[in-house]
């Protein structure tokens, strides 16, 4: 990442070779259209290239940062395609904050293989899994999910929270009674700076 921040194309090539398949899979899952997904991937790597100087290693992994950019841009592209759905400038200001959420347990999850990570989501109760997927892959708000699933808003919020907590427990494999994880403390306030 330092190479990319220094304007070295070789650094970008390394990151592309390492993450392009995951980035494309995510972009295609969200957009469901190959042309648009290719656009999103290109746009995301260029975004990473241009903003590498703003990347703070302490706040998360490069992979997490890149995938957050891909997701943001893919959802942005989908919303733009839907006639009559305007993107406010607000979304440009708010979503980047989420890009810097700390990737707090790379060492813990790093020992898991992709199949174990997949299993953590698939073992969730269908209702919890559905709200998380609608939010993450379709970019819907809790209110929109409530409308689509015809579940009360409070139920959607509850399912989302329980689902994330359960997935975390699946990934880490222990429960400390609060959010289920005995991990190094992570301060959301500072992490979002």
Partner 1 sequence: MAMTCDRVREFASGFVLGALDIDEMIAVSDHLDTCSEEHPEIGDLGGVVPYLAETLEPLEPPAWLRESVMAAAQADLAARRHISVEPVAIPTAARSSQAALTWQGPSPVSQGEVIPFAARASRRRRAMTWATRVAAAVAVVVLAGYAVVLQGDLSKSKHDQDTYASLIYAAAQPDTRLAALASRDGSKASGLVALLPTGHIIVNVTNLVPTQGDEAYVVWLTGDNGVQSKVGSFTVSDSGDGYLEVDNVPTSASLYLWVCKEPNSAVSASSGPTIVGGTISL
State which of positions 118-137 bind partner 1 (CB under 8 A): 118, 120-122, 132, 135-137
Q: Give the H/E segment covering residue 55.
A: none
Cβ neighbours around 125 below 10 Å, total: 11
Q: Does 67 contact partner 1 by CB under 8 A?
A: yes
Q: Which of 145, 138, 179, 185 is nearest to 162 (CA)?
A: 179
Least CB distance from residue 151 to partner 1, whole Å? 14
Least CB distance from residue 122 to partner 1, whole Å? 7
Judged by CB under 8 A, the residue of 2, 54, 57, 80 near partner 1 is 80
- The CA distance from 28 to 17, in Å, is 18
Q: Does 155 contact partner 1 by CB under 8 A?
A: no
Torsion of CA 108, 111, 116, 121, to 10 degrees: 30
The count of C-alpha atoms lying within 13 angstroms of the C-alpha of 178, restricted to the half-sphere facing its C-beta, is: 4
Judged by CB under 8 A, the residue of 1, 31, 55, 73 near partner 1 is 73
Q: Which of residues 20-39 bind partner 1 (CB under 8 A)?
A: 20-22, 24-26, 28-29, 35, 37-39
Judged by CB under 8 A, the residue of 1, 31, 55, 68 near partner 1 is 68
């Amino acid at each position: 990442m330092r190479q990319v921040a220094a304007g070295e194309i070789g650094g970008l090539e390394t990151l592309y070779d390492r993450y392009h398949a995951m980035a494309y899979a995510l972009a295609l899952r969200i957009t469901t259209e190959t042309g648009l997904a290719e656009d999103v991937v290109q746009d995301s790597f260029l975004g990473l290239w241009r903003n590498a100087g703003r990347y703070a290693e302490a706040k998360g992994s490069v992979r997490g940062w890149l995938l957050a950019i891909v997701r943001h841009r893919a959802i942005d592209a989908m919303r733009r395609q839907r006639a009559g759905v305007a993107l406010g400038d607000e979304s440009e200001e708010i979503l980047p904050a989420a890009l810097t959420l700390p990737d707090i347990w790379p060492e813990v999850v790093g020992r898991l293989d992709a199949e174990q990570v997949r299993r953590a989501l698939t073992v969730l109760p269908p209702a919890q899994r559905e709200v998380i997927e609608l939010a993450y892959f379709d970019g819907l708000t809790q209110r929109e999910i409530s409308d689509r699933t015809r579940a009360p808003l409070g139920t959607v919020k509850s399912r989302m929270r329980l689902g994330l907590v359960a997935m975390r427990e699946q990934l880490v494999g222990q429960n400390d009674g609060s959010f289920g994880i005995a991990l190094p403390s992570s301060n959301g306030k500072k992490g979002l700076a």
